[in-house]
Structure 1
């Protein structure tokens, strides 16, 4: 790493500083974009693998050296520098120091390699910089997002004429919105008035039921909404981390017996670790029977809607009151590309807002629409544009082929694990991810030793810049729960490359065993 910053200082010629919009914006952007593309290629070659080799402090030192070096006296307080040169240096730095999800050895997280056409579409949005908080800032983008939301609602099984939704920053924001609307709808009906936290505090205790494998943002949302993290009741899961239907029914009954209000059931369609899909139709029936809102977190598994093969996994999703999708996972979009949908547009009522400088009533009466009351945010990028371009370029069928390719990769990787004597598969893949662990050879290791071995071999792979493999823990208590994870989101990766990645895990495990 000592020579990394010096190598990165190869700059390009001077480039003029211009704005990106207007008639001249494209001409100003063209040489700068060319400089970025060249620097990205140089940086990837310099990195030479899925991520830069070295310890975190090595990477941080290289970044600091380059950041502080500057041009012409340099640093934040130095003289102005040629924008093309600075852009090239920093783009090369970023590429050389990134974990590249397009590399077959980068398979840890729900972190997709975006489609080139989606990235190009995102450039258009960045250049024009429309904001979705008022029509007069984004005339075409406002209309496009409305059309896209209707199409996605129909894909999810909603009636597009009755549904509503908005683009979000991702599943965390979408889950917050789902629980906010659930709180206002259910507790508002209980108290007979608009929900305010002072009223909630004196009323029946609200509860949110979510699987033990639900995303951590559910607890965070409950805290933000004033319900408290302890309002979230974890529902036990099976071996594949799928919510147990009988346990959910029992917990809902228990809430009623104790005088508590089940505000929402949060079902997960595609858990982060195993891709498990909760029994959505049963969840919908149980939530309805208890007067609870059903929110489905399909940030990962929503991609199955694109695949004829996998779509049946989401049977019942159209019965959800609200739904979260993330197209920056199984949709191959640059982040952010989250989507929040509600089945009935009137359930959005508590989010409606009037700001006279953004959506005055007389403008709306005159036919100027506003998306302000659909989002928690005010200033908001036109993220619908890249999704719309991708859908019209590839169609559902083309995107479905990408989903199926990644599913095939996961199944092939699971077979490789099953066939290797030093690896142990946790469960068959549901979507495109699976859990496994290195168990070593010869004498069996104690559970705590296995945990240490798997954690340390993963860090060895990171340190050597050879692979980015996920690490998680199974629900429960005590040692023996650490597992490694492959999340396969690159449809152009081959089964042979996945096998090589798993063999690299074995090699790192052997090296760590030698140190025990």
Structure 2
């Protein structure tokens, strides 16, 4: 049979394609194909939960690299079973299992199941949150959650947008700080005219323990890392207000221009909250934009018992929120929130094909007016909606309370053991410490490096590390409400065993 159609007008041969050719596209006739693919993927997830008894397989980078590089992407696999078998070998079997108590390394939370259910809808329906005609109800669900988060912070006229992560939200905070200063005090519109001639003198104040994104964002904004001024910290590695005021005065005396402060609510290394009320008072007296990076500490918004640790956050001009950390959401789910919704007008830009200037945005809203680097944007807000509507704020807050209480007990236990040195207590869930062992051998850095690497490649336990004043420390990030003190004692015993082994070998 001649499998072509002849168009008399154009005499062009067009292949006839049967319905099966389109089965892989998500459309009205591909429901069975979709159901089969999702069912098989769900089975692999169930196996991931069932079969993992340690957080990591211990596979070496060179081994997994070789496996991946051997794949011929030009040769498709015959069925989903073959595809999933391949992905099992390359990824699933070696994926880090954040849900296990033995994972105690970084700020990776176990996720809640309602949010995973939402992911199915988000991925399949694939709404884009930039304009109403692409998202409809999704626009208002996102806005409702932004309003709710603003209220938890203590804002009355707040607004914001979901973002891809804390670093992006921090970028937005510094962008508004820079442009607000230029508009308000120098009458220059950076968006239209570029940086003012004295932008090299702009200064942003952060603590010694603030997130590294401040430095990268200063570079992206054209201010350079030289615009970042490090402020000294107290004994718990929180920004010292006296040092902050001194640093501001020093920069003014040098002829530089202070424009902003970034305070941290939940430092990555110590889980502590800067003194927000005192910092806000200084920001007010010097007319500086105050941004609070609460990517980690936002979980304190959920708990009545520990909410006081965030007192003063309501005085900030802008706040970073990471739901995919302290709200137990799958990546990505974050937000940038401002105290004064009018400040978001600084970043608004109109395009005739997307969000024309003449459109009535009260009647036909467009979230893209609040975004800086994302036009097409996932409906990540639905995950938080599922979570709050099914579980509620109170239950999430109980998870946070449990984590903090477990951390406090762990700190006391570490302090009671002479083989360990605890560097600092935590407001939340991060403890920095080191194994001392035979301290007379004066090799605490080397022994702790040995312990971390040995545990990692055994796959039994994943801990993090950091350096403080040039010294190497181990770090627990307790981020799982299921983790108990008993689990942590077992981990500490493994650390001691490996530390004793190191001294036996050396």
| Superposition TM-score, scaled by structure 2 size | 0.91
Conserved 8 A contact 1:287-1:293: yes
Given the alignment, which residue of 424, 427, 430 partners 1:430? 427
Alpha-carbon distance between aligned partners in 2 of 1:472 and 1:365, rounded to the nearest angstrom: 47
* Other-structure match for 1:457: 451
In 2 relative to 1, CA 45–509 (structure 1 residues): closer, same or farther, beyond 3 Å? farther
Moved more, 199-208 or 97-106: 199-208
Could you tell me how far 1:53 is from its partner in structure 2?
2.0
Gaps of 5+ in 2: 1-19
Asked if structure 2 preserves the Cα contact closer than 8 Å seen for 1:271 and 1:277, the reply is yes
Select which of 267, 271, 296 maps to 1:271.
267
Most deviating of 248-257 and 86-95: 86-95
Q: Distance in 1 between matches of 2:390 and 2:189?
A: 44
Q: Distance in 2 between matches of 1:45 and 1:504?
A: 24
* Corresponding residue of 1:249: 245
Instruction: Give the whole-Å Cα distance in 2 for the aligned partners of 1:315 and 1:133.
Output: 33
By how many angstroms is 1:33 displaced? 2.1
Aligned counterpart, 1:52: 57
How does the TM-score come out when normalised to structure 1?
0.89
CA distance in 2, matches of 1:410, 1:138: 41
C-alpha distance after superposition, 1:436-460 (max 9, x if no partner): 111013x5232xx211111121000
Question: 1:381–1:495: structure 2 CA closer, same or farther, 3 Å change rule?
Answer: same
Quote the residue 1:407 is aligned against. Answer: 404
Superposition map of 1:505-516 within 5 A: 505-516=495-506
Query: 1:108 touches 1:487 (CA, 8 Å); kept in 2?
Result: yes
2:418 aligned partner: 421
Among residues 451, 454, 461, which one is paired with 1:467 in the alignment?
Answer: 461
User: Does residue 357 of the first structure (1) align with residue 374 of the second (2)?
Assistant: no
Return the offset for 1:23: 5.0
Aligned partner of 1:142 among 125, 139, 146: 139
Q: Deviations over 1:419-478 (max 9, x none)?
A: 22211111222101111111013x5232xx21111112100001111111010011x3x4
* Residue 109 (structure 2) aligns with: 112
State the Cα distance separating 1:234 from its structure 2 match. 0.3
| Conservation of the 8 A alpha-carbon contact between 1:44 and 1:96 | no
Secondary structure of 1:233's match? Answer: strand
Equivalent of residue 492 in structure 2, options 478, 499, 502: 502
- How far is 1:131 from its partner? 0.7
Shift of 1:79: 4.5
Alignment length (residue pairs) = 485
Deviation (angstroms), 1:47: 5.0
Unaligned runs of 5+ residues in structure 1 are 1-14, 69-74
Report which of the two structures shows the higher radius of gyration computed on alpha carbons. 2
1:41, distance to aligned residue in structure 2 (A): 3.6
1:177 to 156, 162, 172: 172
Q: 1:80 to 1:239 in 2, by over 3 A?
A: same
Once residues 44 and 365 of structure 1 are traced to their aligned partners in structure 2, the CA distance between those partners, rounded to angstroms, is 46
Paired residue for 1:295? 291
Instruction: State the secondary structure of the residue aligned to 1:303.
Output: helix
Partner of residue 390, structure 1: 387
Equivalence map 1:312-351=2 (5 Å): 312-351=308-347
1:360 Cα deviation (Å)? 2.3
Any conservation in 2 of the 1:44–1:95 contact (CA below 8 Å)? Answer: no
